[in-house]
């Protein structure tokens, strides 16, 4: 208790007995007990007030957050895996012709040649 051992308490009790006398000592102990009770009652009130102003709202917020998190996880489906930006091996990227094939350029001025066109006019 407060780092005070039995011998220290005995010395304090003996000093109080010598200073105040056996008649006054019970009255002093009663007053000290009342003061300690009041102190404990006020400190409990402060502790309760602190808890109500800090911990209760924090716990309420934590509960709301958990409920919202559950709602979100149950109402929103899991995202589908996205296609990777890198094509699989052996497949050329989009817009790049495969090896050995010449890219065709089509201009607005000249219509594309068809296989029946041999370059002669009829």
Is residue 115 situated within a structural domain?
no
Q: Which domain holds residue 56?
A: 22-76
CA–CA distance, 79 with 2 (Å, rounded to integer): 60
Q: Is residue 5 part of a domain?
A: no
Residue 110 belongs to a domain? no
Q: Is residue 46 part of a domain?
A: yes
pLDDT of residue 117: 53
Q: How confident is the model at residue 66 (pLDDT cuts 50, 70, 90)?
A: very high
By residue count, the chain amounts to: 122
Total tally of structural domains belonging to the chain: 1
Give a yes or no: residue 48 inside a domain: yes
Rounded to two decimals, the pTM is 0.39
pLDDT in tens, 4-43: 899 998 998 899 889 988 899 899 889 999 999 999 999 9
Residue 12 lies in a domain: no
Q: Is residue 43 part of a domain?
A: yes
**Span 78-118, pLDDT tens digits:** 667 666 566 567 666 666 666 666 666 655 555 556 555 55
């Amino acid at each position: 208790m407060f780092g005070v051992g039995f011998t220290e308490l005995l010395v304090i009790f003996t000093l109080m007995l010598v200073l105040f006398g056996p008649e006054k000592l019970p009255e002093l102990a009663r007053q000290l007990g009342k003061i300690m009770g009041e102190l404990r009652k006020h400190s409990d009130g402060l502790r309760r007030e602190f808890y109500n102003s800090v911990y209760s709202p924090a716990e309420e917020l934590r509960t709301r957050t958990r409920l919202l998190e559950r709602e979100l996880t149950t109402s929103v489906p899991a995202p589908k895996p996205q296609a990777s930006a890198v094509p699989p091996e052996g497949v050329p990227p989009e817009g790049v012709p495969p090896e050995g094939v010449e890219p065709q350029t089509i201009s607005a001025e000249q219509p594309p040649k068809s296989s029946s066109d041999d370059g002669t006019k009829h």
